[in-house]
């Protein structure tokens, strides 16, 4: 073996969504803030993301998370989420994986019954409260970044579908929220491919037809994902986030439910402090709530809270031999989905 690059990771999942945490082999990236570091990946040098996320070292149904020293004195650790399309500013499920790994591997000292961890993300500070017992991180509760509804009942013209109504909302990243009843669909595993097809078409139309920009973080423009939002037969919130080039988040989705809560608050459909259950397409659960109301650039906004569980399921090391013809990896549409035009 003669690797010229070696990266070590801990494999974890949060309510079914895999989030690999890089624990060795990546020291730092250019940039004075996490946002600048993320922009370096997305705008200057994308090779590390491709190396870690694409086949043969990665696979479609997971994210890989870079861990750095914080650029903010208030935070304990910084992180950036790497996914199939680009580096992203925030992820709730990956934050749960991050905290679980940091505490259970001893990278940050675990304190029982609760350990507080502040995360420096490109979208701002996220404060995590981990419930711990007998050396296990039982549950992670995240006080998410300020979230707000950007556009309610926006209409876009979608190829093959006609007019589709969406809500544009920010929950750490931008989402287009879609009611699947418009297409006579329910959020169930057997409908996954249909949801992906519609979601990627809507994604394309939204970013082409709507002007979407964060009022304070000007580098955050356009939606990152679409998310189908509905309810199960028992009245619990249910959602399915569609991630380019074409897969569904297995977790209920932390940033997606933050965006959804912001829309519900804007419509007067949720009370401050009321804890709700949000389910994924596989019926895994987060507990979600609006902690408080606020404003951003004169608009109504909320501070959401997301709570879920994470589990370590493996330890992983990847590398590259200098003769390997695929140091940057590859994607094939049979597993990854075919909306390659949505990749950054």
Kindly list the catalytic residues.
91, 253
d(CA 148, CA 302): 6
Residue 181 DSSP class: G
d(CA 298, CA 21): 37
- C-alpha torsion angle, residues 214, 300, 231, 206 (rounded to 10): -30
Nearest residue to 276 (alpha-carbon basis) of 127, 118, 265, 294: 265
User: What value, to the nearest 5°, has the Cα angle with vertex 190 and ends 188 and 191?
Assistant: 70
Contacts of 218 (CB under 8 A, 6+ apart): none
DSSP string across 190-220: GGHHHHHHHHHHHHHHHHHH---B-SS-TT-
d(CA 258, CA 63): 19
Residue 11 DSSP class: E
Number of CB atoms found within 10 A of residue 202's CB: 23
d(CA 308, CA 112): 18
Strands, E assignment, 41-113: 63-68, 77-82, 87-88
- Omega into 56 within 30° of 0, i.e. cis? yes
Residue in this structure with the two tokens 């994604």, named with its chain if needed: 203
Helices 254-266, 92-104: axis angle to 10 degrees equals 130
d(CA 239, CA 216): 28
Query: Cα separations (Å) of 77 from 62, 99, 247?
Result: 21, 10, 29
């Amino acid at each position: 073996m003669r690797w010229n690059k070696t990266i070590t990771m801990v494999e974890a999942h949060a309510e079914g969504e895999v989030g690999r945490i890089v624990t060795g082999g990546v020291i730092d990236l250019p940039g004075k803030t996490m946002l600048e570091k993320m922009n370096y990946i997305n705008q200057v040098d994308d090779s590390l993301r491709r190396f870690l996320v694409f086949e043969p070292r990665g696979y479609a149904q997971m994210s890989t998370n870079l861990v750095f020293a914080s650029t903010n004195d208030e935070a304990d650790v910084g992180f950036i989420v790497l996914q199939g399309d680009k580096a992203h500013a925030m992820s709730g499920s990956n934050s749960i994986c991050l905290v679980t790994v940091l505490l259970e591997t001893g990278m940050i000292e675990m304190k029982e019954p609760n350990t507080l961890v502040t995360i420096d993300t490109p979208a701002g500070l996220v404060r995590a409260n981990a419930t711990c017992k007998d050396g296990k991180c039982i549950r992670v509760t995240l006080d998410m970044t300020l979230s707000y509804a950007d556009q309610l009942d926006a209409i876009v013209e979608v190829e093959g579908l006609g007019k589709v109504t969406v809500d544009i909302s920010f929950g750490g990243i931008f989402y287009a929220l879609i009611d699947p009843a418009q297409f006579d669909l329910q959020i169930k595993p057997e409908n996954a491919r249909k949801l992906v097809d519609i979601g990627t078409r809507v994604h394309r139309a939204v970013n082409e037809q709507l002007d979407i920009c964060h009022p304070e973080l000007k580098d955050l423009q356009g939606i990152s994902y679409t998310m189908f939002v509905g309810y199960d037969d028992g009245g619990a919130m249910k959602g399915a986030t569609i991630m380019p080039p074409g897969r569904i988040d297995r977790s209920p989705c932390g940033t997606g439910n933050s965006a959804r809560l912001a829309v519900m608050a804007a419509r007067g459909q949720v009370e401050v402090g009321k804890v709700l259950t949000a389910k994924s397409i596989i019926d895994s659960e987060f507990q979600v709530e609006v902690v408080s109301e606020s404003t951003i650039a004169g608009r109504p906004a909320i501070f959401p809270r997301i709570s879920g569980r994470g589990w370590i399921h493996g330890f992983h090391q990847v590398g590259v031999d200098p003769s390997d013809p695929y140091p940057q990896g590859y994607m094939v549409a049979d597993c990854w989905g075919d909306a390659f035009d949505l990749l950054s």
